[in-house]
Amino acid sequence: MSRLLSGDLPRSRALAVLLALLLVGLAAAPFLFPGTRSLNVAAKIAVFVLLAASYDLLLGYAGIVSFAHTMFFGIGGYGVAIAMARLGSGWGALAAGCLAALALSLAVALAIGLLSLRVRAIFFSMITLAVASFFQILASQLSGVTGGEDGMNVRLPEPLGSKLVAYYLVFAAALALFLVLLRVVNSPFGRVLLAIRENEFRAEAVGYRLVNYRTAANCLAAAAATAAGILYAIWLRYTGPQATLSFDIMVDLLLMVVIGGMGTMYGAAVGATVFVVAQSYLRDGMKALSGALAGVPLLPELFHPDRWLLWLGVLFVLSVYFFPFGIVGQLRARAARAGA
């Protein structure tokens, strides 16, 4: 087990239980939670766990705040969609789409890495915001190729027509890639990333070329995000600017990774799960609460189901101040105290 997790154990019974539950829940979802809605939620969780993990690599391990991450997510989705639309719906077309998407993502990630990582962090973040915005505009303007605002449907090869098969493909791929990311962050490469994040000057003094490591991290994260995009497109059988490129998704990712716990990988998994579940089911709870508060000024508005992002945002801000290592950090700290 330890080898499978690359030596990165949960280090907290509570966390281990949570993760085990998550794994079992996702693995047996079609049987445990029958129904299209729950299966949708499960698939979405799988995809976003991978996406959030890729973002954690960037944010939590390499210390890079990029707002362009959804771009890679979108490239994955559009790569598959465009390939399937142009090259027929066979496995070859799917493979071609995946490869093209990965190639494009890596090229863009390389460009961003080499050009922008030489500048100050704040400059970089602002530029990624502009780049992401540009991409979104591109996707919605080139409607001939990308279907514009409406997006594109994705035609899939025969076996993937069954939701069950598609689900297990998504689940298995997401799990495998998550474990790969876990490997990466626990390798010497990952340790250097952490060292750079801790103390840039020292790392540079010791001889590590920061730009190379950061660019590599950027590329790896981009590749993983692209894969997530491919999986999402396969599941939804659709891709579009709202589903993949919108800034809302970027914000969601931030929330997931920070609330879950930056720099832990498991945090991304926990955060993504909490987020998607809340997004799908919390609103019902809030609706009830809002109804109960009818008549009171402002309060019903505060708890209106559409305002769930408000509360998550508050949780996010509080996390940054008080729980810098998120849920996972808290659980681990508690376990350490109990153990020690």
Partner 1 sequence: MSARADWIPVALVPALALVALPFIPSGATWLTLTVAGLAMGMMIFMMAAGLTLVFGLMDVLNFAHGIFISFGAYAAASVLTRMSARLQEASLASDLSAMAPAVLAAIGLAALLGLFFERVIIRPVYGEHLKQILVTMGGLIVFEQLILVVWGPDMIPLPRPGAISGSFIVGDAAIERYRVLAVVVGVVVFVAMWLLLNRTRIGLLVRAGVENPEMVESLGYRIRRLFVGVFVAGSGLAGLGGAMWAMYQEQVNAQIGMQVLVVIFIVVIIGGLGSVGGCFVGAMLVGLLANYTGYLAPKLALGSNILLMVLVLLWRPRGLYPVGRA
CB of 90 to partner 1, least distance (A): 34
Two structure tokens written together for 213: 């490591």
Pick from 247, 281, 288, 292 the residue near partner 1 by CB under 8 A: 247
Subset of residues 302 to 331 that bind partner 1, contact rule: CB under 8 A: 302, 304, 306-307, 309-310, 312-314, 316-317, 320-321, 324
Alpha-carbon distance of 257 to 280, in angstroms, equals 18
State yes or no: residue 134 binds partner 1 (CB under 8 A). yes
Pick from 138, 169, 179, 195 the residue near partner 1 by CB under 8 A: 138
Looking at this protein, which amino acid is placed at residue 286?
A: M
Distances in Å between the Cα of 150 and the Cα atoms of 25, 49, 109, 285 are 33, 26, 26, 31
Pick from 26, 50, 98, 258 the residue near partner 1 by CB under 8 A: 258
CB of 123 to partner 1, least distance (A): 7
State yes or no: residue 68 binds partner 1 (CB under 8 A). no
Of the two residues 158 and 301, which places its CB atom closer to partner 1 in the complex?
301
Q: Give the chain's largest Cα–Cα span.
A: 65
Residues 177 and 224 sit within 8 Å (Cβ to Cβ): yes
Q: Long-range contacts made by residues 302-305, C-beta under 8 angstroms, separation at least 24?
A: none
State yes or no: residue 111 binds partner 1 (CB under 8 A). no
- What residues are paired with 238 via a beta bridge? 153
Alpha-carbon distance of 264 to 122, in angstroms, equals 23
Beta-sheet pairing, 152-153 with 238-239: antiparallel
Map residues 139-178 to x or -, x wherever contact with partner 1 holds by CB under 8 A: --x-------------------------------------
Alpha-carbon distance of 66 to 57, in angstroms, equals 11
State yes or no: residue 123 binds partner 1 (CB under 8 A). yes
State yes or no: residue 110 binds partner 1 (CB under 8 A). no
**Residues of this chain that bind partner 1 (CB under 8 A):** 63, 65, 119, 121-123, 125-127, 129-131, 133-134, 137-138, 141, 247, 251, 254-255, 258, 298, 301-302, 304, 306-307, 309-310, 312-314, 316-317, 320-321, 324
